C-alpha cells in the first residue's frame, strides 16, 4: 500500500492545479477522438501536465509523448497494448511514446497525467540505458520498487509543484526533478542504486556498465547494420554469456529485442514523414527482407507498416 501522506494535496493545491500555468482551456473529453493524439505542449516546451478530475474514459489512442499517470484519489484502469494495469492511489505508470493505450476513469477521484517528450533527455549518453528501460511500460509502486518508491513519488510531487509554481526558473526545476526521477529508477533497475542520501553515480570507465553505455551509443547510429549478438559482445570485450546477462540487466530486454526497438522506432518516422516504399523503409532500418520487417512491425504496433502509414502518415 502506498503511503498517502506522500502524495496528498492540500485544498489550496487542488484548486490551483485546476488552472494551467498558461491558462490553456483544458482537455475536453471526446469519445470519438482519433487514435493519434496531438499533445498540446506548453508554448516553447515539450511538456504538458494535468491535474485531472474528469470521470470520462479515454478510448484507445497514442501520442509521441511519454505519458506518466499517477492516481491521487480512487483507482484508475489503464490498458497498454492489451495489458491492463489497475492503478491504486500513488502508483506511478510510465507509458512509452507511441504505445496504444486506453483509460477507464472511476466516477470520482483525481490523478496527475504528465505528457513530455524524451528528446531533451536523449541528448545525454547516460540516458540511453534509461530510454531502453522506458521502451516498455514501467510500474513503480511501494510494492514493486520499495527501495526507491518514496524518492520517486516525492520527485513527482515536486515536479507538479514546480509546474504550477511561480519560479522564473520553473523549467529548470521541472527537468531537474525529472532527470533525478529517471536516474534513480535506472540505477535501481540496473543494480547501481546509491546509498540513501547519495546522488546517482556514473559507472566508472571500463566497467561492464560503461561498456554497455558505449554500445548503446554505437547502436543509436548503426542499428541498420547487420550486427549479431556475438559481434556486440566482442565490441564490449565481454564473453557472449556475460554480455547477454549484463545487457538484459542494464536495459531490461535482450540485445535483439532492443535492436528491433530501435529499428521499428526509426521505421515509424519514415512511414509517417516520407512516402518512400515500404521495401525501402525496411532496408533503411536494417531488414534484409520485407516479410521479416512486416512481421516484426506487426509485433510491436499490431498493424502492418502500410496500415500504419495510411493511419498516421503525412509524408509527401
Domain harbouring 45, CATH code: 2.60.120.280
**Model confidence at 142: pLDDT above 90:** yes
The DSSP secondary-structure symbol of 125 reads: T
Sheet of 76-80: strands edge to edge? 58-61, 101-104, 76-80, 83-87
Assess if residue 36 is contained within a domain: yes
Rg (CA), the chain: 20
Q: Nearest 5°: CA angle at 97, between 45 and 221?
A: 90
- Give yes or no: residues 229 and 289 share one domain: yes
Give mean pLDDT, residues 102-118: 92
Supply the pLDDT for residue 130: 92
| Backbone region of residue 206 per phi and psi (left: phi > 0; alpha: psi in -120 to 50; beta: other values) | left
Assess if residue 199 is contained within a domain: no
Assess if residue 196 is contained within a domain: no
The grid coordinates listed for 149 are 518508491
Supply the pLDDT for residue 203: 47
> What SS3 state is found at 86?
strand
Assess if residue 54 is contained within a domain: yes
CATH code of 233's domain? 1.10.10.60
- % residues pLDDT > 70 (the chain): 91
Cβ neighbour number for residue 293 with a 10 Å cutoff: 23
Assess if residue 122 is contained within a domain: yes
- Give yes or no: residues 131 and 77 share one domain: yes
195-242 pLDDT per residue, tens: 445 554 444 457 888 899 899 989 989 999 999 999 999 999 999 999
28 band by pLDDT with thresholds 50, 70 and 90: low
Cβ neighbour number for residue 68 with a 10 Å cutoff: 21
Last residue of a domain, one of 159, 189, 219: 189
- Give yes or no: residues 40 and 74 share one domain: yes
Look at 208 and 10; give whichever has higher pLDDT.
10
Nearest-angstrom CA–CA distance, 283 and 254: 22
The grid coordinates listed for 291 are 516479410
The least confident of 27-36, 115-124, 146-155, 286-295 is: 27-36
Nearest-angstrom CA–CA distance, 178 and 156: 8
- Give yes or no: residues 171 and 38 share one domain: yes
Place of cell 536516474: 183
Supply the pLDDT for residue 106: 87
**Model confidence at 92: pLDDT above 60:** yes
Last residue of a domain, one of 122, 154, 189: 189
Assess if residue 201 is contained within a domain: no
- Give yes or no: residues 222 and 185 share one domain: no
Total structural domains within the chain: 2
- Give yes or no: residues 184 and 266 share one domain: no
Give mean pLDDT, residues 102-119: 92
Assess if residue 148 is contained within a domain: yes
Place of cell 535492436: 259
- Give yes or no: residues 57 and 119 share one domain: yes
- Give yes or no: residues 252 and 152 share one domain: no
Sheet of 66-73: strands edge to edge? 47-52, 110-116, 66-73, 92-95, 138-140
- Give yes or no: residues 213 and 184 share one domain: no
- Give yes or no: residues 97 and 223 share one domain: no
H-run or E-run covering 258: helix 255-273
Q: Of the candidates 297, 228, 312, which has an alpha carbon nearest to the alpha carbon of residue 267?
A: 297
Assess if residue 130 is contained within a domain: yes
- Give yes or no: residues 150 and 215 share one domain: no
Supply the pLDDT for residue 271: 93
Q: Of the candidates 157, 153, 189, 159, which has an alpha carbon nearest to the alpha carbon of residue 173?
A: 159
Last residue of a domain, one of 189, 218, 245: 189
The least confident of 31-40, 54-63, 83-92, 175-184 is: 31-40
Structural domain boundaries, residue 9: 4-189
- Residues in contact with 255: Cβ distance below 8 Å, sequence separation at least 6, in sequence order: 229, 232, 243, 244, 247
Compute CA distances 164 → 22, 47, 87, 178, 238, whole Å. 10, 13, 24, 15, 48
49-71 pLDDT per residue, tens: 999 988 878 888 888 899 999 99
The grid coordinates listed for 29 are 473529453
**Model confidence at 247: pLDDT above 80:** yes
- Give yes or no: residues 150 and 255 share one domain: no
**Model confidence at 34: pLDDT above 60:** no
The grid coordinates listed for 266 are 526509426
Amino acid at each position: 500500500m502506498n503511503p498517502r501522506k506522500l502524495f496528498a494535496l492540500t485544498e489550496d493545491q487542488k484548486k490551483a492545479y485546476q488552472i494551467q500555468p498558461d491558462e490553456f482551456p483544458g482537455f475536453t473529453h471526446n469519445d470519438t477522438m482519433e487514435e493519434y493524439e496531438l499533445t498540446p505542449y506548453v508554448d516553447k516546451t515539450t511538456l504538458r501536465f494535468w491535474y485531472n478530475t474528469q470521470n470520462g474514459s479515454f478510448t484507445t489512442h497514442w501520442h509521441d509523448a511519454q505519458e506518466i499517470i499517477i492516481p491521487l484519489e480512487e483507482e484508475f484502469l489503464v490498458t497498454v497494448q492489451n495489458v491492463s494495469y489497475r492503478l491504486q492511489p500513488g502508483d506511478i505508470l510510465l507509458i512509452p511514446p507511441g504505445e496504444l493505450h486506453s483509460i477507464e476513469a472511476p466516477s470520482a477521484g483525481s490523478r496527475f497525467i504528465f505528457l513530455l517528450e524524451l528528446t531533451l533527455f536523449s541528448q545525454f549518453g547516460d540516458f540511453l540505458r534509461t530510454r531502453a528501460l522506458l521502451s516498455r511500460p514501467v510500474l513503480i509502486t511501494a510494492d514493486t520498487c520499495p527501495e526507491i518508491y518514496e524518492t520517486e513519488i516525492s520527485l513527482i510531487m515536486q515536479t507538479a509543484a514546480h509546474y504550477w509554481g511561480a519560479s522564473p526558473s520553473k523549467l529548470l526545476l521541472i527537468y531537474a526533478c525529472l532527470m533525478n526521477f529517471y536516474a534513480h529508477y535506472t540505477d535501481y533497475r540496473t543494480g547501481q542504486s546509491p546509498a540513501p542520501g547519495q546522488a546517482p553515480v556514473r559507472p566508472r570507465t571500463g566497467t561492464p556498465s560503461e561498456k554497455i553505455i558505449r554500445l548503446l551509443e554505437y547502436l543509436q547510429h548503426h542499428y541498420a547494420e547487420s550486427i549479431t549478438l556475438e559481434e556486440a559482445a566482442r565490441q564490449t570485450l565481454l564473453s557472449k554469456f556475460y554480455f547477454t546477462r549484463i545487457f538484459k540487466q542494464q536495459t531490461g530486454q535482450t540485445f535483439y529485442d532492443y535492436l528491433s526497438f530501435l529499428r521499428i522506432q526509426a521505421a515509424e518516422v519514415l512511414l509517417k514523414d516520407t512516402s518512400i516504399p515500404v521495401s525501402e523503409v525496411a532496408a533503411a532500418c536494417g531488414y534484409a527482407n520485407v516479410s521479416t520487417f512486416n512481421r516484426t512491425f506487426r509485433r510491436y504496433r499490431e498493424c502492418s507498416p502500410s496500415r500504419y502509414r495510411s493511419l498516421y502518415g503525412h509524408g509527401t
